[in-house]
Structure 1
Amino acid sequence: MNTSFGIDVGGSGIKGAVVDLDTGQFMGDRIKIATPQPATPEAVAATVKEIVDQAQWDGPIGITVPSIVKGQMVLSAANIDKSWIGIDTYELFHRHLGADRHISILNDADAAGLAEVAFGEEKAKTGQVIFLTFGTGIGSAFLMDGRLWPNTEIGHLAVDGFEAE
């Protein structure tokens, strides 16, 4: 079975579960711990480690964050502490979870959009699609024929001098 452990860092909770990568389904229960306040990189990474340890998972991990992520670097911080900006997520999570572990990091809404293309509505695979997530904040993924235009963060556009979210 092709599995990984998925972690979603949210503004109010950090969730984790083993995921079947062929079906997109959870394999067992989801673990949720409240997002530490303040949600600094070190505090969040320690909470991610706590979830992974609770699950007794030793394989690959995919982590989503509410941030623009480019080349594993965080370029924004939505609903997490501003100290995330400029953080090398690869270094941060490997330091907490082990240097030999395979870890992938992605914007949270981008991951949800890609999951919709892979496992959800057939219409998401063709044409122009805007995928929105609603939680502590508003996330977005723009897709064209199933291909992602990363890090759109439409909820954080400025409208009349204020963040749209």
Structure 2
Amino acid sequence: MRSAFTTTSPTNADGQGGFGKDSRIAVEKTHGSAAGSEAEPSFWALRAVGDEDARALGIEIRATSIKAAIIDTLTGAFIDGASTKIKEANPEEVEAGVRKMVDHFQWKGTVGCSITKAVARGLGCHSHSFSALDRDVGNMLKTMIPDSVVVTMVHTEAAGYSELAFGLEKGDLKEDDHLVMVVTIGAAMGSVVYLNGHRMRNTGLNSKYLNDFEPNLAALQAKYP
């Protein structure tokens, strides 16, 4: 289930929320379905990974390349990897590249895909909301590899979960009272906040505060080639 708490700041015009009056910041959590039952995994992306074979195929989709690796989800270790080039991140090129990676490993299990905002735009998804990009691009990728369970995240979010689970703190940041912000900086800037290991949604960080990063960077690159 998803629980939420209230802060004091207005919701943005795009509905993504901010730090102001009556906005609601959702914190994604999972709980057991009945008394005495085991709780579902906190990291919902790994629900489809079984205990006997805790591997998944991770695919990173970028503007001109697609990289993939089989991952041990218990340790975060890379087992095997491959990559391929694409001309641009349009639906045809992305589908061909993703299928090539899946076929290369003859993979039938869980697939985790990370995307950039530039890739999302190339696929026709233009929202500033990470949740919307996860959903919309994820639905497209599911049609490209229908035989697999597919989980899609913007790469900032995926990097955050990876750091929380396998980084220097080795899981300690998932405990109570830990508030963690992850920021990725490249051609675009993205940010995700985690509370006790769970992503906080509708903070407005990306739609309100980081939305001008790309045009400002482009202006600087044009001024200082």
TM-score range, shorter chain: 0.7 to 0.9
Show the counterpart of 1:45. Answer: 95
Shift of 1:22: 0.7
CA distance in 1, matches of 2:73, 2:124: 32
Show the counterpart of 1:92. Answer: 140
Q: 1:66 to 1:50 in 2, by over 3 A?
A: same
Check conservation: 1:141, 1:149, Cα contact below 8 A. yes
The sequence identity of aligned pairs, in percent, is 26
Show the counterpart of 1:83. Answer: 124
Q: 1:163 to 1:79 in 2, by over 3 A?
A: farther
CA distance in 1, matches of 2:119, 2:90: 12
1:8 aligns with 2:56: no
1:32 aligns with 2:63: no
1:78-119: CA deviation from partner (whole Å, max 9, x where unpaired): 675262348843442233212x42111111110110111111
Task: Return 5+ residue gaps in structure 2 as ranges.
Answer: 1-52, 128-132, 219-225
- Structure label with greater radius of gyration: 2
Task: Return 5+ residue gaps in structure 1 as ranges.
Answer: 68-76
Check conservation: 1:11, 1:136, Cα contact below 8 A. no
SS at match of 2:98: helix
Q: State TM-score, norm by structure 2.
A: 0.56
Show the counterpart of 1:110. Answer: 157
Shift of 1:156: 4.1
AA aligned opposite 1:19: I
Q: 1:54 to 1:136 in 2, by over 3 A?
A: farther
Deviating beyond 6 angstroms after TM superposition, the runs of 4 or more aligned structure 1 residues are none
Show the counterpart of 1:120. Answer: 167
Q: How many residues align?
A: 152
CA distance in 1, matches of 2:125, 2:148: 22
Show the counterpart of 2:108. Answer: 58
CA distance in 1, matches of 2:105, 2:187: 25
1:41-92: CA deviation from partner (whole Å, max 9, x where unpaired): 232122111111112212111111113xxxxxxxxx4675262348843442
**How big is the alpha-carbon RMSD for the aligned residues of Structure 1 and Structure 2?**
3.1
